[in-house]
Amino acid sequence: RKEVEQDPGPFNVPEGATVAFNCTYSNSASQSFFWYRQDCRKEPKLLMSVYSSGNEDGRFTAQLNRASQYISLLIRDSKLSDSATYLCVVNPRGNEKLTFGTGTRLTIIP
Amino acid sequence: EPEVTQTPSHQVTQMGQEVILRCVPISNHLYFYWYRQILGQKVEFLVSFYNNEISEKSEIFDDQFSVERPDGSNFTLKIRSTKLEDSAMYFCASRLDNSPLHFGNGTRLTVT
């Protein structure tokens, strides 16, 4: 099983729709979880951290399910500017490397 | 907002040549990283650096690679003898403690 696994997509979604991505991780002892977004040929940028109780930032909601070892990201009322690749990122042991999923490509269609 | 800066933005080199990629992490950060991303593939960990030494490295980070923090601000990645397969985007990143990584905007390395 891959350390961090995501559906690569692409997801083509009409503007205004709601879209959800899932990500699974293999190391049950993983401590920190993040969603990053990456635009074409740019650096990854932090979208949001994922907390155990779930958290929301505007149109974005992140959830963590430790029992099933998955993380989700929900985008409501999607905008054209949400088109990007969304990277699931896991910190396996604390203060060391982050492990990236392959990313899920999202295109918002006008 | 403080940023991680990387230079150059694009480096073209011939196979077998040495390259040095430069990074200035955010000034109060403690942990420094190099990642790379081959075109169309995922972001891959190369090396992490803490307290003036390598704390972890991946299988990619072989004897051809080295890192240095020569002064209080710069963090460099050296590839001694580049190969065609080293062509990729190289991202430097830093963080303070158990906080998210902040990435630089990358150096695109093209080996011909």
Who wins on pLDDT, A16 or B70?
A16
Q: Which chain B residues touch A45 with a CB distance below 8 Å?
A: 103
Q: Which chain B residues touch A34 with a CB distance below 8 Å?
A: 100
Pairwise CA distance, residues B10 & A105, whole Å: 25
Q: Which residue has the tokens 């940023």?
A: B3
Which residue in chain A is spatially nearest to B108 when comparing CA positions? A41
Contact between residue A66 and residue A85 where contact means Cβ atoms under 8 Å apart: no
Q: How close is the nearest chain A Cα to the Cα of B14, in Å? A: 22
* Mean pLDDT in residue range B31-41: 95
What pLDDT, on a 0 to 100 scale, did the predictor assign at position B1? Answer: 75
* Mean pLDDT in residue range B26-42: 93
Peptide bond into A110 cis (omega under 30): no
Signed CA dihedral, B54, B78, B89, A1: sign only: negative
Over pLDDT 90: what percentage of chain A? 76
* Mean pLDDT in residue range B3-31: 95
Q: How many residues are there in chain A?
A: 110
What pLDDT, on a 0 to 100 scale, did the predictor assign at position A95? Answer: 53
Over pLDDT 70: what percentage of chain B? 100
Six token digits for residue B100: 């998210």
Which residues pair with residue A4 across a beta bridge? A25
